[in-house]
């Protein structure tokens, strides 16, 4: 953790703060907007998720920056960071989500672009996952106990993006932002527990105050019949600009990519010509984005 640089590196809060002065402008803007939303108020209302406020205020959050949502080398570096995060977070703090900031696109591409970005990143991670999908987690997104998995762990990736105008709790002015939380951090506060129900009631009440609109219709609870996890990763505002079925079709088949691309540091195989040492074209395992 905390290797030199800012992009493609797992960073704790102290290190990120120390390096922001030398970071790309987009990363500085991303993090400053993130921190302000966590610790500031909107019309007198604090950010809805008090867990998010606490980990940012106490310095327990971990961070990563990725310079592209499509470049294979950048995404393989992010993959390595995510592997490191899963090894690190249990000993870092009781709750240590990973906030991931992606470099912004040019112009204002609109809502559909950000849905495409998110699902491209998640598909890339699935194809280049060094570990198989856990047997106990269903691979069908249209089931209440589906959740995205990576590195042998079930994860809850929630995203924010620039296209939210009213739903400010999901607003990120710079570009795509994904906060990754392992399912294990929700132990004891799931929807079927008294503590979990109390936390949800509090957060959803604060969400209505902060956003000034009703909580999103897709907001639900993992494992509850009728609720779907994937729709909560990036809430849709425009049905025509968002997927009506989960774009990810995970399988238990493993591996899905060549072993050389599953190894740590595989991003180094990519040079300016995108060829490997033998002159053969290196592929991502995905179709064109």
pLDDT in tens, 203-220: 777 877 888 776 765 676
Torsional class of 153: left (φ above 0), alpha (ψ -120 to 50), beta (otherwise): beta
pLDDT (tens digit, 9 = 90+) per residue, 66-85?
A: 999 999 999 999 999 999 99
How would residue 283 be classed by pLDDT, with cut points 50, 70 and 90?
Answer: very low
Arithmetic mean of pLDDT over the chain: 87
Residue 288 confidence (pLDDT) above 60: no
Share of the chain above pLDDT 90, in %: 67
Which of 13-17, 127-131, 163-167 is the least confident region? Answer: 163-167
How many C-beta neighbours within 10 Å does residue 224 have? 13
Q: Alpha helix (H) ranges present in the chain?
A: 13-19, 25-39, 50-58, 72-92, 111-127, 194-211, 259-262
Query: Who's near 12: CB < 8 A, 6+ residues apart?
Result: 1, 2, 59, 62, 63, 92
- The closest alpha carbon to 54, from 203, 235, 220, 191, belongs to 203
Lowest pLDDT segment from 46-60, 219-233, 256-270 = 219-233
Q: Tell how many helices (H) and how many strands (E) occur in the chain.
A: 7, 8
Does 286 score more than 70 pLDDT? Answer: no
Distance of CA 34 to CAs 56, 105, 152, Å?
A: 9, 18, 28
- The Cα 135–Cα 241 span in angstroms is 33
C-alpha 13/C-alpha 90 separation (Å) is: 16
In the structure encoding, which two tokens stand for residue 192, read together? 């079927």
- Cα distance between residue 191 and residue 197, in whole Å: 5
**pLDDT for res 280:** 40
Q: In sequence order, which residues have a C-beta less than 8 Å from that of residue 247 and are 6 or more positions away?
A: 115, 119, 123
The pTM score is 0.88
Between 96 and 280, the higher pLDDT residue: 96
User: What is the pLDDT at residue 124?
Assistant: 98
| 34-38, 107-111, 123-127, 203-207, range with the lowest pLDDT | 203-207
Q: Provide, rounded to the nearest whole percent, the portion of the chain with pLDDT above 70.
A: 85
- Please provide the size of the chain in residues: 289
Neighbour-count burial of 225, counting CB atoms closer than 10 A to its CB (0-12 exposed, 13-18 middle, 19+ buried): exposed
Is pLDDT at 251 greater than 50 in this prediction? yes
DSSP structure string for 61-90:
-EEEEES-SS-HHHHHHHHHHHHHHHHHHH
The arithmetic mean of pLDDT across residues 236-257, rounded, is: 94
pLDDT of residue 187: 61
């Amino acid at each position: 953790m905390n290797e030199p640089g800012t992009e493609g590196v797992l960073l704790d809060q102290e290190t990120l703060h120390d390096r922001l002065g030398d970071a790309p402008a987009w990363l500085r803007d991303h993090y400053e907007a993130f921190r302000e939303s966590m610790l500031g108020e909107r019309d007198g209302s604090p950010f809805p998720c008090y867990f998010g406020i606490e980990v940012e205020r106490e310095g327990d959050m971990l961070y990563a920056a990725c310079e592209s949502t499509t470049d294979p080398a950048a995404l393989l570096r992010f993959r390595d960071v995510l592997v490191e995060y899963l090894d690190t977070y249990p000993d870092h703090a009781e709750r240590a989500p990973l906030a991931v900031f992606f470099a912004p696109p040019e112009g204002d591409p609109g809502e559909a672009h950000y849905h495409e970005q998110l699902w491209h990143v998640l598909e890339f991670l699935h194809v280049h996952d060094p570990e198989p999908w856990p047997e106990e987690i269903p691979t069908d997104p249209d089931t209440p106990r589906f959740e995205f998995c990576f590195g042998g762990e079930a994860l809850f990736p929630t995203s924010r993006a620039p296209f939210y105008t009213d739903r400010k709790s999901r607003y990120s002015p710079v570009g795509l932002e994904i906060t990754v939380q392992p399912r294990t951090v929700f132990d004891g506060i799931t929807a079927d527990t008294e503590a979990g129900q109390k936390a949800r009631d509090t957060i959803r009440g604060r969400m209505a105050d902060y956003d000034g609109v009703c909580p999103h219709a897709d907001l639900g609870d993992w494992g509850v019949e009728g609720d779907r996890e994937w729709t909560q990763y990036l809430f849709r505002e425009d049905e025509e600009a968002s997927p009506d079925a989960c774009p990810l079709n995970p399988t238990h088949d493993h591996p899905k990519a060549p072993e050389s691309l599953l190894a740590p540091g595989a991003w180094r195989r990519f040079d300016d010509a995108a060829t490997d040492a033998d002159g053969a074209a290196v592929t991502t395992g995905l179709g064109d984005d």
